Chains A and B, each alone.
Chain A
């Protein structure tokens, strides 16, 4: 793939705009429920970016897990916990000023570094077309152990979540 071509550049710009805007909405909106909706938009945008980067499988996973599962989970918790979902209260704390400053410096610094250290290649390497198959094979061969470990982690998280959320029945 060459440097971002015009049409690709346009698509990238579109997704980038969506991501940045919705991300900002996520951290600034007063209503937490609206934040969750903005998060879904943002995550979908990231999935689009993955497609642009030839990571189709990852994009699918992104949509399935993040947009599908995690977002639903978050919305559920919002509805379970926020009887204040509709109420407009201050959603930011006293850190806001300092934190804003710090985040700004961080972001600016990162961009500055990107600018200063211009070592990034313009073109990517050719990835095999059957990404999905390659990933599947790798998961079952070279990455077997991490794969299993992650499975166990998921199981543990599941049990942990059930235990935590169940509370004491008395």
Chain B
């Protein structure tokens, strides 16, 4: 089991790195998807090894997938909007909320 967890941890770290470094908003979204998947691997692994006969982990992962899909939909729509307004998808430029 520890291997699965290690895999998930690495995947999460990679995703994290992507989120923090990507300039392209779509890139950030993709990295987020990586992190979701890392979490899902954890859920399923826990379900397998610690969940007894229950399916809670898998169901949770299922919901995560659905919510992630919804998140991706809205996120990409926002990206489109940003693109339309700024003629670009560089997340660094979108900093009108700063001090």
B25-58: which residues lie under 8 A (CB-CB) from chain A? 26-27, 29-31, 33-34, 37, 40-41, 44-45, 47-53, 55, 58
Which of chain A's residues has its CB closest to B20's CB?
Answer: A99
Total interface residues on B, CB under 8 Å, equals 67
On whether A164 and B1 interact (CB within 8 A), knowing A27-B21, A93-B22, A138-B55, the answer reads no
- Chain A hits for B12, CB < 8 A: 106-107, 110
- Chain B hits for A126, CB < 8 A: 53
Contact call A106/B16, Cβ cutoff below 8 A: yes
Contact call B37/A43, Cβ cutoff below 8 A: yes
Contact call A74/B24, Cβ cutoff below 8 A: no
- Chain A hits for B14, CB < 8 A: 20, 23-24, 26-27, 103, 107
On whether A61 and B78 interact (CB within 8 A), knowing A53-B48, A77-B26, A143-B59, the answer reads no
Contact call A65/B2, Cβ cutoff below 8 A: no
Contact call A70/B61, Cβ cutoff below 8 A: no
Which of B11, B21, B29 lies in contact with A93, CB distance below 8 A? B21
The reply on A81 being an interface residue by CB < 8 A is yes
Total interface residues on A, CB under 8 Å, equals 83
Contact call B22/A81, Cβ cutoff below 8 A: no
- Chain A hits for B18, CB < 8 A: 26-27
- Chain A hits for B70, CB < 8 A: 153-154, 156-157
The reply on B74 being an interface residue by CB < 8 A is yes
Complex: A91 Cα to B25 Cα, angstroms: 10
Which of chain B's residues has its CB closest to A137's CB?
Answer: B55
- Chain A hits for B81, CB < 8 A: 164-165, 167
Task: Looking at the assembled complex, report how far the CB atom of A10 sits from the nearest CB atom of chain B, in whole angstroms.
Answer: 12
Contact call B7/A19, Cβ cutoff below 8 A: yes
Task: Looking at the assembled complex, report how far the CB atom of B76 sits from the nearest CB atom of chain A, in whole angstroms.
Answer: 5
Task: Looking at the assembled complex, report how far the CB atom of B78 sits from the nearest CB atom of chain A, in whole angstroms.
Answer: 6
